[in-house]
Amino acid sequence: MTNRIAFQGEPGAYSHEACRAARPGMEAMPCDSFEDVIAAVRSGQADQAMLPIENTTYGRVADIHRLLPESGLHILDEAFVRVRISLLGLPGSKVEDINTVRAHMVLLPQSASFLKLHGMRGIAAADSAGAAATLAKTKVSGEGVLASSLAGEIYGLDVLAEDVEDHGHNTTRFVIMGREADMSRRGEHGMMTTFVFEVRNIPAALYKAMGGFATNGVNMTKLESYMVDGSFSATRFYADIEGHPDDRNVQLALEELDYFCSTLDVIGVYPRDPARD
């Protein structure tokens, strides 16, 4: 056991913040890409992976649904992290001193009202935490960064303003993955099961496959489709349901689904996060 949890991004990224919140006793390990995060866990460099799945403002995280089934890892937990955007500046600076702000391109429109109010010009950066690290080194006067407060703490920047986002509902859902599945747990707030499947090439296969969840009273909280290997004819579906595969109603629904599928792979059985409510 390394007691490390891997995440994508620079130290101070929102994924790093998620690691601190969900796994405070583990060392957070930064990686360049999602593929590197998965590889770190598979090779034993890290014990777990923190991967973002979706965001309430921007929807699905690109490529993640393709990577999860092929990762060889299993979902152990889910975590919901509110994205709180802070304006960071050099020590001693004030909001009125800032005229240019750098941030990842998805953060700039989320803080458009704040930037307009203070006459600040936004410049897109590859990574918000990376922009904070750069500012700490270059010490450019009049420049600020939109990032997490954690990034300010790590790189020695002052938090000049907090919660500068236009909307307070911006939340990212993460999954925590590991090498071994754990089907033994029962969460206090219920369980979730995540799986991917491809239906057989017969008329109304998807309609019939979904019928088992309705007739057995299983709540499906997510269903998304995506192409497989760039093919227009091969479509894979990613689904989240409430319940455990050992629950009789879930068992019956999955059996009915399997009958209409060419492939069906469960990639996670884990406690339901109360933040869903």
Catalytic residues: 172, 174
> Where do we find the tokens 């008329």?
203
From CA 12, how far away is CA 88, in angstroms rounded? 12
Structural contact between residues 75 and 196, judged by C-beta atoms closer than 8 angstroms: no
- Which residues are registered as beta bridge partners of 124? 103
**The dihedral sign for the CA sequence 17, 112, 275, 192:** negative
Long-range CB contacts for residues 164-167, cutoff 8 Å, separation at least 24: 164/85, 164/86, 164/87, 164/111, 164/114, 165/83, 165/84, 165/85, 165/110, 165/111, 165/114, 166/110, 166/111, 166/112, 166/113, 166/114, 167/57, 167/110
Identity of the residue numbered 146: L
180: its two tokens: 């071994």
DSSP string, 81-126: EE---EEEESTT--GGG--EEEEETTHHHHTHHHHHHTTPEEEEES
* Radius of gyration (C-alpha) of the chain in whole angstroms: 21
